[in-house]
Chain A
Amino acid sequence: DTAVSQTPKYLVTQMGNDKSIKCEQNLGHDTMYWYKQDSKKFLKIMFSYNNKELIINETVPNRFSPKSPDKAHLNLHINSLELGDSAVYFCASSQVRGLEQFFGPGTRLTVL
């Protein structure tokens, strides 16, 4: 009965490849988010979707594209992976914008 789940947990890939990370929440929340935690452990928001519509798009390269097929899912597609994309990516969701956000376990992406 995991609240926010992500797959895969670990992802190792070569530079230039395209990869996707999936996120699902079973909390019935309207808003979902993607965060990136870099090697210095700073956690920064990348995207936010509310009812399947994009409401935040921080200064993220357009190689990153979120896709929300429905309210319960927010997937992250990354094209032409670069070394600097190596990080832990966290998905989160909340009932209304802001308030208490529930985070997934994270996906550790390593680009070689």
Chain B
Amino acid sequence: DAKTTQPPSMDCAEGRAANLPCNHSTISGNEYVYWYRQIHSQGPQYIIHGLKNNETNEMASLIITEDRKSSTLILPHATLRDTAVYYCIVTNDYKLSFGAGTTVTVRA
């Protein structure tokens, strides 16, 4: 019942921006886009969320297209510690449904 589609993996060079795409073409008007990540052997960590507008915090930026059918998570300056599985989740309640995510490997 996944509502999102993400590439299974991507590599990124340390110090460069990492752009993680997510498709959510069936998103409804009251559903938010959440991003979490899970570093190996740790619990998931909240990154950012948004509804319509682009959002930025100390960790990342979230760009949501005008039709809301896709979004991009931007890690502005990737470090080795950003190596993790990144999950894009669409929901309007507290039931977070994690898919397979994108495995991001940051290389020195």
Chain A interfacial positions (CB closer than 8 Å to B)? 4, 31, 33, 41-45, 48, 55-56, 90, 92, 94, 97-106
Determine chain A's interface SS by DSSP, over half rule.
strand
B44 and A90 contacting across the interface, CB-CB below 8 Å: yes
A98 and B44 contacting across the interface, CB-CB below 8 Å: no
Q: Shortest beta-carbon distance, B14 to chain A, in Å?
A: 25
- Contact residues in B for A105 (Cβ distance below 8 Å): 42-43
Q: Shortest beta-carbon distance, B43 to chain A, in Å?
A: 3
Please, could you name 7 A-B residue pairs with CB atoms under 8 Å apart, sorted by A?
A43-B38, A43-B96, A90-B43, A94-B94, A97-B94, A98-B96, A99-B49
B98 and A56 contacting across the interface, CB-CB below 8 Å: no
Which has the most chain B C-beta neighbours within 10 Å: A33, A48, A92, A98? A98
- Contact residues in A for B91 (Cβ distance below 8 Å): 98
B85 within 8 A of A: yes
Our pick among B42, B43, B87, B93 for the contact of A98 (Cβ within 8 Å) is: B93
Residue of A nearest to B2 (CB): A42
A55 to B49, CA, bound (A): 23
A42 and B44 contacting across the interface, CB-CB below 8 Å: no
A41 and B100 contacting across the interface, CB-CB below 8 Å: yes
Q: Shortest beta-carbon distance, B36 to chain A, in Å?
A: 8
B54 within 8 A of A: no
Within 8 A of A (CB), among B1-59: 32, 38, 41-46, 49
Our pick among A42, A55, A100, A101 for the contact of B99 (Cβ within 8 Å) is: A42
B81 within 8 A of A: no
Given A31-B94, A97-B94: A103 and B44 interface contact (C-beta under 8 Å)? yes
Residue of B nearest to A91 (CB): B43
Q: Shortest beta-carbon distance, A74 to chain B, in Å?
A: 14
A101 and B98 contacting across the interface, CB-CB below 8 Å: no
A56 and B95 contacting across the interface, CB-CB below 8 Å: yes
